[in-house]
Amino acid sequence: MKNMKLLFVSAAVLLLSVTLIAQPKAWVVPANFKSMKNPVAVSDASVKAGQASYAKTCAACHGKTGLGDGPKAKSLKTTPTNFTVALSQNQTDGEHFYKTKTGRGDMTKYEGKLSDEEIWNVVNYIRTLKK
């Protein structure tokens, strides 16, 4: 009986440890970025430019339509964001800008790869993916 109890407790601790390790940490965005306003006005030209940048730099992981189902998605440790759902669409433009610019884990850092204007155009395009 004592061995059974020890086995049960050990299994519970192991399961809890694996569960906690597997949970991605919340991506905290600094307040100054969270409240940052998009300086690039939404226009056909901006959305079109954002779509072109998205196709080159984002679609491989986030998918052509923003569902997080791109061809590289399955090889990543974390699931790419689905841009069509409220969880993503409810984030501020500044949050999307910060995450794209700074990257984290599997998410590529685009600072130095895309200009700020290009990132803002991508943000404008992401807004069009809302369901």
Q: How far is CA 76 from the centre of its chain?
A: 12
Q: What is the pLDDT of residue 20?
A: 44
Q: What is the pLDDT of residue 55?
A: 98
Name the nearest CA neighbour of 96 among 128, 127, 64. Answer: 127
Mean pLDDT value of segment 15-27: 58
Question: Per-residue confidence at 25, pLDDT binned at 50, 70, 90?
Answer: confident
Delineate the domains of the chain, giving CATH numbers in brackets.
Answer: 29-127 (1.10.760.10)
Mean per-residue pLDDT of the chain: 89
pTM: 0.81
Do the beta carbons of residue 77 and residue 106 sit within 8 Å?
yes
Q: What is the pLDDT of residue 131?
A: 83
Do the beta carbons of residue 91 and residue 82 sit within 8 Å?
no
- pLDDT over 50 at 72, yes or no: yes
- pLDDT over 70 at 5, yes or no: no
Residue corresponding to tokens 């306003």: 37
